Amino acid sequence: MSFVPGQPVTAVVQRIEIQKLRQGNNLILGFSIGGGIDQDPGQNPFSEDKTDKGIYVTRITPGGPADVAGLMMGDKIMQVNGWDMTMVTHDKARKRLTKKNEDVVRLLVTRKSLEEAVKQSMGGFPRP
Amino acid sequence: MDTESTYSGYSYYSGRSRGSHRHGERSRDRHKSRSKDSRSEKSVTINTPPAEPLLGDSAVRGEQVQDDNWGETTTAVTGTSEHSLSQEDIVRITKDLEDSVGLDCRRYFTRTLAVILGLLVFLTPLAFLVLPHLLWPEKLQSCGTACEGLFISVAFKLLILLLAVWALFFRPARAGLPRVFVFRALLAVLVLLFVVSYWLFYGVRILDSQDENYQGIVQYAVSLVDALLFIHYLAIVLLELRQLQPCFSVCVTRSTDGETRHYNLGQLSIQRAALAIIEHYYCDFPVHNPALLSASKSRAAKHLAGLKVYNVDGEFPAAPAEGPGNNAAAGLAHSQSRAMIAAAARRRDTSHNELYYEEAEHERRVRKRKARLVVAVEEAFTHIKRMQEEEQKKAPGDVMDPREAAQAIFPSMARALQKYLRTTKQQHCHSMESIQQHLAFCITNNMTPKAFLESYLTPGPTLQYSRDHWLARQWTLISEASVTSGLKDGSIFLLKCVDFSLVVTSKKIPYIQMSEEYIDPKSHKFVLRLQSETSV
């Protein structure tokens, strides 16, 4: 999932829709994020490329809305409700996910297994 | 044979210097030092003084000491025992004495030359000034003010030159070197040429033509003194300053026990470097103790004695039949040595085991004796107390001076000390007299028992011991390069004395290329490494 500067980033993504859960006064999603352009990318345990400053899912509360929706630990979040998450600060990412007037967040996430699945399925067909 | 008449004072020293670890010789030297006139170096009579105590030589000491030592000192003197004077020693003594006589003549010769040159140098300006007054006084112009000012200048410059020459050259000679000191010789020749050329000019242009301009003559003399001062400056630079900057790192190893030290030397000739190294040796290296080497020698002897090669068939082995003689004999020796090496490699050698346990046992013994010694000395020191000033006036009872106090407490620690010295094989380095002197010294200076013991627990540099242990004031420099050539990178030479040799290797200190890098003090900036995790 490394990027070449100046070229568009391409990735195989999965669409995940999470319904926010109301707990008291808060709307929670049930996972934790890490990363951001103002953070230290070398300490990210989930990224392949240690210069990748994207937003990653670091923890999922079991049984929470994210878990139910199929989000997995280690996923890199590419978009939230259409907003780009590959070049944002950590705080901006948090704000995008926790808007009070939204009940549903639609994420585009990518993970390694998706790429491999696509490669496997494409590898069977010889290219014309 | 009348040998005494040919010796000068120098041979006395060389005789003393050969007082080696050998017991008989050293005791003879000690007797010599007391009598100061016996020249028995050449006598072949080998009588070990009977029943001489190990630590001392007078019967006035404590009873226990003598009793304890008595059993050890009756030595049977045979031709091969450690304590005898063998044929090689006699040959060596004669060679040393012959050499020393030759060296002495050379020293006096150089000294007289130097004195003559010095006199010539100092009297020349004065002669230049005085001769016109003696030879043509009536024709001479009278000396005006400027001229008389120049007299003062000549006088003071001569005085400064005299002091400077005294400071630089009139120092007691440190050593006698094998070859002539090149820089000094060059400088002497330069000064001589210089003065001779001035004389030539003076003789031709002034004496012959009887010049009347006295001021000119005085200025000529002043210029001579100025030039002499500059030559003296040159002498300082060549003789003293040039070798101060370190250029070489020399590694000095003692051949018998491997003690190694490293020194920094400047650009010196090999003989001057050798002299500097010997002076460092006397100050830094622990004293050479041959008694510590006997263990490895006996091990080596055992290795050799273990295997013997027998030639069963009585005919030469299969060497190409080029006839008898060197070839076959060499082939035989070659195959024998190879057979021995192969057998030694195969043999199950347990000598390492013995060595290990022996050394461990020795360690334990030394530590036990040391503990006893420390306790004995501490207890002995508690028996005496320094008397204060007021008490001295009040109670003149049993008052002792330091020497008597030392003698009083010495017997209680003597046995422990002697046993310790014998275990560490240092007993020949310290005589009873020297121990008591040291004890009196420590008592006088309020030193603790630990300070007193320090000189016996660790072997000090050679200079700290008695003169008998200044082994070899006669050193031999063995070098493949000429000894007046300079030190180079990788030059190796040997300094041999009677018991051991010092192997010296030198390495050049490398040329250092340094560059600079400027750091703006405002350029030191830091950021925090963040890794936050937020739950949403």
Rounded mean pLDDT of chain B?
78
What is the ipTM for the molecules in this complex?
A: 0.81
- pLDDT confidence tier of residue A34, bands split at 50, 70 and 90: very high
Closest-CA residue of B relative to A95 is B536
- Least Cα separation, residue A33 to chain B (angstroms): 5
Residues of chain A with Cβ-Cβ distance to B532 below 8 Å are 34, 39, 90
Phi, psi of B359 (to 5 degrees): -70, -40
Percentage of the residues of chain B whose pLDDT score is greater than 90: 40
- How far apart are alpha carbons A16 and B165 in whole angstroms? 101
* A95 has a chain B CB within 8 A of its CB: no
Q: Are B531 and A97 inside 8 Å of each other by CB?
A: no
- Output the pLDDT for position B384: 83
What is the rounded average pLDDT of the residues B197-206? 91
Tell me if A58 and B529 make a contact (CB, 8 A cut-off). Answer: no
Q: What tens digit of pLDDT does each residue of B384-414 get?
A: 888 777 776 666 667 788 899 899 999 999 9
Nearest residue of B to residue A98, measured between CA atoms: B536
Q: Where are the beta strands (DSSP E) in chain A?
A: 14-19, 21-23, 26-28, 31-34, 55-60, 76-80, 83-84, 104-110
Residue B43: pLDDT band with limits 50, 70, 90: very low
Q: Is A39 on the interface with B (CB under 8 A)?
A: yes
**pLDDT single digits (tens) B314-335:** 655 544 444 455 566 667 777 7
Q: Taking CB atoms and an 8 Å limit, are A97 and B529 in contact across chains?
A: no
The whole-number pLDDT of residue B345 equals 72
> Across the interface, do A90 and B530 touch by the CB < 8 Å criterion?
yes
Kindly report, residue by residue over B6-16, the tens digit of the pLDDT. Answer: 433 343 443 34
How many CB atoms are closer than 10 A to CB B154? 21
pLDDT value for B11: 38
Q: Is the pLDDT of residue A63 over 60?
A: yes
Each residue's pLDDT tens digit, B472-481: 678 899 999 9
Residue B84 scores a pLDDT above 60:
no
A59 in contact with B, Cβ within 8 Å: yes
- A109 Cβ under 8 Å from any chain B Cβ: no
> How many contacts does A have with B, using Cβ atoms within 8 A?
37
In the numeric block, the tokens 């063995």 are attached to B478
Contact A34 B532 (CB under 8 A): yes
Task: Provide the 3-class DSSP secondary structure of residue B51.
Answer: coil
Which pLDDT tens digit goes with each residue over B258-290?
Answer: 999 999 999 999 999 999 999 999 889 888 888
Q: What residues have CB less than 8 Å from A10, skipping those under 6 apart? A: none
3-state secondary structure of B47: coil
All structural domains of chain A, each given as residue ranges with its CATH number in brackets, are 13-114 (2.30.42.10)
Average pLDDT for residues A48-69, to the nearest whole number? Answer: 91
Contacts of B527 in chain A (CB under 8 A): none
Give the pLDDT confidence score for residue B24 in this predicted structure: 39
Q: Is B533 in CB contact (< 8 Å) with chain A?
A: yes
Residue B432 has pLDDT above 80, yes or no: yes
Within an 8 Å CB–CB cutoff, is residue A56 touching chain B? no
Q: Span A13-27, mean pLDDT?
A: 90
**B527 interfacial to chain A (CB closer than 8 Å):** no
Asked if A81 is an interface residue toward chain B (Cβ–Cβ < 8 A), one would say: no
User: Which of the given ranges, A10-24, B43-57, B325-339, has the highest pLDDT on average?
Assistant: A10-24
In this model, does residue B256 exceed pLDDT 80? yes
- Given an 8 Å threshold on Cβ–Cβ distance, is B536 in contact with A59? no
Q: Which of A43, A44, A94 sits opposite B534 (nearest CB)?
A: A94
Instruction: Count CB atoms within 10 A of the CB of residue B48.
Output: 18
Contact A32 B532 (CB under 8 A): no
Strands B476-479 and A55-60, by their bridges, are unpaired
User: Between A29, A32, A97, which is nearest B533 by CB?
Assistant: A32
Put simply, whether A28 touches B (Cβ < 8 Å) is: yes
A19 interfacial to chain B (CB closer than 8 Å): no
- What single string gives the DSSP state of each residue in B488-529? -TT-EEEEE-SS-EEEEEEEEPPP---------GGG------
**Hey, is the C-beta of B534 within 8 angstroms of any chain A C-beta?**
yes
